[in-house]
Structure formats: C-alpha cells, structure tokens
Amino acid sequence: MKLWLQSLAWNLGVALGLIEAPRLQRIPVHSDEQRRLAQQRRQR
C-alpha cells in the first residue's frame, strides 16, 4: 500500500511538472556496416 501511494504521488508530481522525470540512457545499436568494419579490423 505504501509503495502504491509513493508511486501515485511520484506520477502525480511528474504529471503536474513539479518533478522532472528521469531521463533514460540511450542504448547504442551497432549497424551491420559497423560490425563489418570491426570484423575487417580484427582479421588484419
């Protein structure tokens, strides 16, 4: 119950703009071209 109430208060604060929502960190996604170049570097 306490966790639910904290979550509700947090979401309400974010919705009202009183609390800034945490920013998520981007996950780097490597392209096929990057993989191919890395493989070529390893083969040398």
Cα dist. 6→14, 16, 24, 41 in Å? 12, 15, 21, 51
DSSP single-letter state for residue 22? P
Give this prediction's pTM: 0.48
Task: Give pLDDT, residue 3.
Answer: 94
State the alpha helices, DSSP H only, in 1-44: 2-15, 32-43
Residues 5, 11: Cα–Cα separation, whole Å: 10
Task: Give pLDDT, residue 10.
Answer: 92
Query: What would the pLDDT profile of 1-44 be if each residue is shown by its tens digit?
Result: 899 999 999 999 999 999 888 888 888 777 888 888 888 888 87
Residues 41, 38: Cα–Cα separation, whole Å: 5
